[in-house]
Amino acid sequence: KPIVLYLGRIDKDKSIDVIIKAIPLVSKEIEVHFAIAGGGDELVKIKSLAQKIGVEKSVTFLGSIKHQSDDLPLVYQAASLFAMPSCIETQSIVTLEALSSGLPLVAANATSMPEFIDHGNNGLLFDPADSEMMAKQIISILKDPAKAKSMGEGSRKYALMHSIEKTYEKFEKLYELVVSRFDKIPGNEIALE
């Protein structure tokens, strides 16, 4: 079965309920299993929601996985697709890790997610809090193995643009630009000693 993975905090602001509510919609169309890795204040509530709507057999709660754990890359490698329902992501290291693992993504069209996802190229976006649209996007990718493979390759290409060296290079150019503009304002000369 394909595996849809979410990895991260399980707190109210991460909107994990959106994934849980998408599970029965996806399961009607395709045989799939969901894996939710992480811990947080909402874990008990999310497990209870899964039982309440009858999807507890379609989802495995993996618990917390330490970032330094040797298991972390294996979790990404076992997945077929990465899902991010959160509307509060600013950097989303886990999304970048999913990209570098070559996973297609389905994510809420909010905050930093449109920067990570070139809609149709390496994943699909959905309206925030819309479980039905999230389910449709997941189904669209998983029902088309060629599309999933192509999007996974697109994810890897995108991730390669985010190497630490390239990030430092961009920051350095940005700082140089700010300093050069600041120096041109009368009275703002910077003394470098």
DSSP, res 119: B
Task: For residue 54, give every residue at least 6 positions away whose Cβ sits within 8 Å of its Cβ, in sequence order, or none.
Answer: 24
Q: Report pLDDT for 175.
A: 85
- Model-level pTM? 0.86
Task: For residue 23, give every residue at least 6 positions away whose Cβ sits within 8 Å of its Cβ, in sequence order, or none.
Answer: 34, 50, 53, 55, 58, 59
> How many whole angstroms separate alpha carbon 118 and alpha carbon 130?
19
Q: Report pLDDT for 191.
A: 53
> How many whole angstroms separate alpha carbon 41 and alpha carbon 10?
7
Token pair 């479980």 is found at: 131
CA-based torsion, 115, 116, 122, 128: positive or negative = negative
Q: Burial of 62 by CB count in 10 Å (0-12 exposed, 13-18 middle, 19+ buried)?
A: middle
Return averaged pLDDT per consecutive 10 residues of the chain, 193 residues in all: 97 97 98 98 98 98 94 96 95 93 97 93 97 98 98 94 77 84 68 51
> How many whole angstroms separate alpha carbon 16 and alpha carbon 84?
8
- Residue 67 has phi, psi (to 5 degrees) of -60, -30
